[in-house]
Structure 1
Amino acid sequence: MKKIHVTLASIMMVAVFSCKEAKKSADTTTDEMQGTEEKMAEKSSITLTKLDGSPAYEDASLVLESPENTTIATSGEIDFNFAVSNYELGAQTESENATKLANSGKGQHIHFILNNQPYSAHYEPNFKKELPDGVHHLVAFLSRSYHESVKNENSVVVKKMEIGKDPADTQGLDMEAPTLIYSRPKGTYAGTDATNLMLDFFVLNTTLSENGNKVKATINGEEFTITEWAPYVINGLPLGEVTITLELVDGNGNYIEGPFNKVTRTVTLKS
């Protein structure tokens, strides 16, 4: 009889242990589900909203006057001279957006982009740039003081520049093909500037629509589909590094081949 009592006690202990393990497993599953829900909630806190309220500047124009010849035998410092019409460089853009977004105290300017690299901002129409040997693709456009691009057919300059003797074209850009040019966000944002982040880009040789070409934006891993060429405001971002990928896709969501049609940038948000 003693052996039976021991066996029953053992069974009871195993049962108790099994119940504890089952509860532990259930608690772990619950914690995992809660963790997943928290991650989903954190992820879904990012929003992308079209920015309205900016002056259109429909008549503004930008023209590259020099260099007239974009095939230059010697690399080095090159003088760039632009003509600007119906637009005042250095002026503050008259819009409430100037108080909501990161705004340049130097005013309106030109975004000068070589090979789809981060732009340099120029507040005067004449400046110098160092260009190495090679084939370079220049895109320059007018920008409001809070870095929103002016989007009309005359506000942008697109040029292929060949620098040096027999320069190699390592990019192979077809300048007549649909092309995506990244502009904002860029750099580091602090304080109130880190609250509303503007997403802005230029598209060349294409339009965006619900059934046609689109831009896919991936912000900290969350995807957004953009069907209208316009500036957007990103909200709900955490402090620290933010990774943004822009990709030009067709009506079926397939990537449109091109050396500049997918770009990833990282910006930093500080308190």
Structure 2
Amino acid sequence: MAKSRPLRRFSKKCIKMKLSNLWSLLFIAVLSLGLSACGGNATQSDAAATTETKTETPAAPEIKLTPFPPSPEFMDAAINSMTYKDKKFKFVIAGDSYKLGAQTPDAPQKMCANSGKGQHIHLIIDNGPYAAKYTDEFEYELSDGEHYLLAFLSRSYHESIKTKEAHVAKKITVKDGSIVAEEDITQPMLFYSRPKGTYTGKAETDKVMLDFYLVNCTLGDEYKVKVKVNDSAEFTVDKWQPYFLEGLPLGDNTVTLTLVDAQGNPVDTPLNPVSRTFTLKADPADSVQ
């Protein structure tokens, strides 16, 4: 009987150790399952966040350049003469079909920015934006010195009339508010016209007209115009006509026009290339229509 007591103590110790080990193993197993579950939830949350981010940042629309639809031609419209004296321009305009201040008949169908004041003269000095003038006489400040001058007749939606008779292109010298010398421009030149300024609402921003004026050159095999938009899209056109720009983002946009030769190199001529920045704005009224 004396010998059995140590044996009993030893058996109890073994049982306690086994129970302790068993509880340790169970604790480790439960902890492992918990960590695994947490890890799985984190992965799912990351995936959901990634999906949500992709949903909130859709791809920007593609910028497109498409031909502008045909417009009334005004074949008899003409600028017969132009003078600048005592800081005042005077134009003599001819043609039964064209009148300053009149709305171009197809303006509602064009679905682009249109001037409520009607048809007008675009006056471009050097590389600057044009001034729209709705009368044949107006005051205008020109600095002394040499300038390149282009004036042409425009439709009410700012599309130029692209005929020899409907424009004047001169290299002029100005002194004390008057032209003291002038000569015809002889180099091939490109003048930027539209887009310009600020456009507001879907009717003006969905489709924005691009228009430019050429002097002493014909687009085709010898010359082309390279159009760069926001450094993200580039086009080359070989036909002198207006175009629609579509897919432009709201905010500031920049268009650069370059007259290039048959090899695609910029033509060595004044005012080439030319860039203009304009702004597109949303109209809150569009969202409630």
Shorter-normalised TM range:
0.7 to 0.9
Number of the residue aligned with 2:21: none
Contact 2:169 2:184 (8 Å CA) reproduced: no
User: What one-letter code is carried by the residue in structure 2 that aligns with 1:62?
Assistant: I
User: What one-letter code is carried by the residue in structure 2 that aligns with 1:112?
Assistant: L
Listed as ranges, the gaps of 5+ residues in structure 2 are 1-45, 177-182, 283-289
Cα gap change, 1:110 to 1:129, in 2 (>3 Å): same
Q: Rg bigger for which structure?
A: 2
Listed as ranges, the gaps of 5+ residues in structure 1 are 1-26, 166-172
User: What one-letter code is carried by the residue in structure 1 that aligns with 2:230?
Assistant: N
TM-score normalised according to structure 2 size:
0.71
CA distance in 2, matches of 1:144, 1:186: 15
TM-score normalised according to structure 1 size:
0.76
Q: CA deviation at 1:174?
A: 8.9
CA distance in 1, matches of 2:276, 2:162: 22
Number of the residue aligned with 1:3: none
- For the pair 1:82 / 2:99, whether they are aligned, the reply is no
User: What one-letter code is carried by the residue in structure 2 that aligns with 1:42?
Assistant: A
Contact 2:121 2:154 (8 Å CA) reproduced: yes
1:19-30 equivalent positions in 2, closer than 5 A: none
- For the pair 1:101 / 2:119, whether they are aligned, the reply is no
Cα gap change, 1:96 to 1:53, in 2 (>3 Å): farther
Contact 2:260 2:267 (8 Å CA) reproduced: yes
Contact 1:112 1:139 (8 Å CA) reproduced: yes
Number of the residue aligned with 1:251: 262
Cα gap change, 1:134 to 1:99, in 2 (>3 Å): same
- For the pair 1:216 / 2:233, whether they are aligned, the reply is no
Number of the residue aligned with 1:181: 191
Deviates more, 1:174-183 or 1:110-119: 174-183
Task: Tell me the percent identity.
Answer: 47
Q: CA deviation at 1:135?
A: 0.6
Number of the residue aligned with 1:18: none
Number of the residue aligned with 1:56: 73
Deviating beyond 2 angstroms after TM superposition, the runs of 4 or more aligned structure 1 residues are 63-67, 96-99
Contact 1:248 1:255 (8 Å CA) reproduced: yes
User: What one-letter code is carried by the residue in structure 2 that aligns with 1:185?
Assistant: P
Q: CA deviation at 1:63?
A: 2.7
Q: CA deviation at 1:259?
A: 2.1
Give the number of the structure whose residues are more often helix, by fraction: 2
Cα gap change, 1:124 to 1:96, in 2 (>3 Å): closer
Q: Secondary structure at the match of 1:42?
A: coil
Aligned length: 222
CA distance in 1, matches of 2:199, 2:229: 16
